[in-house]
Structure 1
Amino acid sequence: MKNKAIISTAKKTLGDFAPTFVKYTDEVLFGDSWRREELSLRDRSIITISALVAGQHIDQLEYHINLAKENGVKEDEIIEIITHLAFYVGWPRAASAFQIVKRSTLSNIKNMNL
């Protein structure tokens, strides 16, 4: 059985500006690749967070941190993943990633208290 469909934010953020990119994001990346059965959504989230931190692609990190939490990755696991990555990808990249995790956590806490 295929993994559940992931709803991307590409249409909301890029919509009319880059419609072909949005189409590939929704149909190929999230519609096909993320739904393959060989890896769980949880595993895909861990791999994606690792790749984003390693490549210092922090613009996409907050979305994927929240998605990872939806996919069963606990916050303490995300912190441990980034700590472990620091030794391989560098302290500055890990420090930048931690700022995103912290901001995401504070934002989620604030939203729960509304």
Structure 2
Amino acid sequence: MHQPIKPTVKFTLGDFAPAFVEYSEKILFGDLWRREELSLRDRSMITVSALVSTGSLNQLEYHLHLAKENGVTKNELIEAIIHLSFYIG
């Protein structure tokens, strides 16, 4: 069984948007992240790449930490960001 993913959206938006928190926890991290067609490691690399590419830096710190928990090394994350920088400007 996979380790639990601890989303932080409850702490940042819980009082303001409880429905969003519920969708994030149940659908995004409960269902989507648990699909077996991709490993948690691969999902983390894809997510970090998407966040860097779109400039979504407010979520990046959380997902960098999660990527490390999911088996991505610090050096792999650095290399991915360097590689992306030539494609995203």
Give 1:6 shift. Answer: 1.3
Structure 2 residue aligned with 1:72: 71
AA aligned opposite 2:73: K
Based on CA coordinates, which of the two structures has the bigger radius of gyration? 1
Q: Does the 8 Å CA contact 1:8/1:30 hold for their aligned counterparts?
A: yes
SS in 1 for 2:7: coil
Structure 1 residue aligned with 2:85: 86
Please identify runs of 4+ aligned residues in structure 1 that moved more than 4 A: none
- Structure 1 alignment gaps of length 5 or more: 91-114
- TM-score, normalised to structure 1, is 0.75
- Structure 2 alignment gaps of length 5 or more: none
Structure 2 residue aligned with 1:23: 22
Q: Superposition RMSD on alpha carbons, in Å?
A: 1.1
Q: How many residues end up aligned between the 2 structures?
A: 89
> Matches of 1:52 and 1:16 in 2, distance apart?
25
Percent identity, aligned pairs only, is 63
